[in-house]
Amino acid sequence: MPKQSKRISLASRPHGKPERNDFQYEDVPVPEPANNQVLLKTIYLSVDPYMRGRMSNAKSYVEPFQLGEPIEGGAISQVVKSNSSRFSEGDYVIGILPWQEYCIASEKEVRKVDPSLAPLSSYLGILGMTGLTAYFGLMDIGQPKEGETVVISGAAGAVGSAAGQIAKIKGAYVVGIAGSDEKVEYLTEKLGFDKAINYKTCGNIRDALKETCPDGIDVYFENVGGEIGDAALSLLNKFARVPVCGAISAYNSTEGDIGNRVQTVLIKSSALMKGYVVNDYADRFKEGASQLGQWLSEGRLSYEETITEGFDNIPEAFLGLFQGNNLGKQLVKVSDTE
């Protein structure tokens, strides 16, 4: 057992896009677990776009990261020492944990995961918050019906790709929007999307959507915002539904997100547009995980992961999210299992 553990803290609050010097590397002692605590070795860390919001000091649905304190996010870890009756050495757990090689957690902060049922990494993706975000946004707010047209922005990302597949399971005609020809091919050839658009090369995005959605849009699953969102909203059908999961195009903006006004669009289409975060559905996580697990075991869901190796490369993996470098879920593998 090493005596020191690397950790990454927030060194400064970014102005616009985060940079490497906004992250601070430190060595800290590896502590001993107190009563009802466990010492954990990090195996996988999840990096996600929402973390950019926590790097700012603005009021949001979750507390901001504190300067000089470790950044935290979803993690799969292994118990290396236990002072808890709930966990034994060797157990694998998931929780919201700091960016550290080793850390202490209360027994109430983590829960066990079973690597014999699914790969460990999948508990941070399709069987974790990512899959649940797609499931509840689409099923509770989007409510796709057979034969309807569903459009997914950020469709090759972890949430978007899951949402599109669920829409196909429900019998919808599904169009994905992504940022490369490789991703377009992945959506149509591997995931079964009916059509996909490369927004970087299609020219006018509204015209491209109008061509691929000749019957208009019944459900628009929003991950991106900006001009893509404006174009999709202009093509909504009567009684359309718009789950607003994210708006990554604006996360690094320093001038505010200025665009079209949505009120007239929503009135004319009698559409529902609703923002949400996955924790709104915390009391239904078991339901969502059960259904996702069933679809996965039946071969009706598939997923992709982009895995970056090495603790020191966590910031690069995070920054790559805003350039669309990942296909599916972006993870960092910090260490091997015992």
| Predicted local distance difference test score (pLDDT) of residue 1 | 79
> Which two three-digit tokens encode residue 147?
């034969």
Angle at 123 between CA 82 and CA 298, to 5 degrees: 135
| Predicted local distance difference test score (pLDDT) of residue 309 | 97
Per-residue pLDDT of 43-65, as tens digits, reads: 999 999 889 989 998 777 788 99
- In this structure, what DSSP letter does residue 276 have? -
| Predicted local distance difference test score (pLDDT) of residue 258 | 73
CA-nearest of 41, 89, 51, 2 to 333 is 41
Q: Is 328 helix (H, G, I), strand (E, B) or coil?
A: strand
Angle at 278 between CA 20 and CA 306, to 5 degrees: 45
CA-nearest of 260, 258, 271, 182 to 220 is 271
pLDDT at 257 over 80: no
| Predicted local distance difference test score (pLDDT) of residue 40 | 98
DSSP output for 103-122: EEEETTSEEE--TTTS-GGG
Per-residue pLDDT of 130-160, as tens digits, reads: 999 999 999 999 999 999 999 999 999 999 9
pLDDT at 252 over 80: no
H or E element that contains 82: strand 72-82
- Report residue 126's pLDDT band, with 50, 70 and 90 as the boundaries: very high
Q: What mean pLDDT comes out for the span 23-39? A: 96
Distance of alpha carbon 184 from its chain centroid, rounded? 19
Q: What is the rounded distance in angstroms from the CA atom of residue 16 to the CA atom of residue 55?
A: 11
φ/ψ region of 163 (left if φ > 0, alpha if ψ in -120 to 50, else beta) reads alpha
Per-residue pLDDT of 194-225, as tens digits, reads: 999 999 999 999 999 999 999 999 999 999 99
Q: What is the rounded distance in angstroms from the CA atom of residue 224 to the CA atom of residue 239?
A: 22
- In this structure, what DSSP letter does residue 100 have? B
- Report residue 251's pLDDT band, with 50, 70 and 90 as the boundaries: confident
CA-nearest of 123, 185, 190, 194 to 152 is 194
Residues 6+ apart with CB under 8 A from 111: 93, 94, 95
CA-nearest of 253, 255, 254, 251 to 318 is 251
Q: What mean pLDDT comes out for the span 109-133? A: 94
220: which strand partners?
Answer: 151
CB 319 within 8 Å of CB 26: no
Q: What is the rounded distance in angstroms from the CA atom of residue 282 to the CA atom of residue 104?
A: 24
Q: In the predicted model, what is the mean pLDDT of the chain?
A: 94
| Predicted local distance difference test score (pLDDT) of residue 249 | 80
Are β-strands 195-198 and 173-178 bridged in parallel, bridged antiparallel, or unpaired? parallel
pLDDT at 253 over 70: no
| Predicted local distance difference test score (pLDDT) of residue 248 | 83
| Predicted local distance difference test score (pLDDT) of residue 254 | 63
pLDDT at 164 over 70: yes
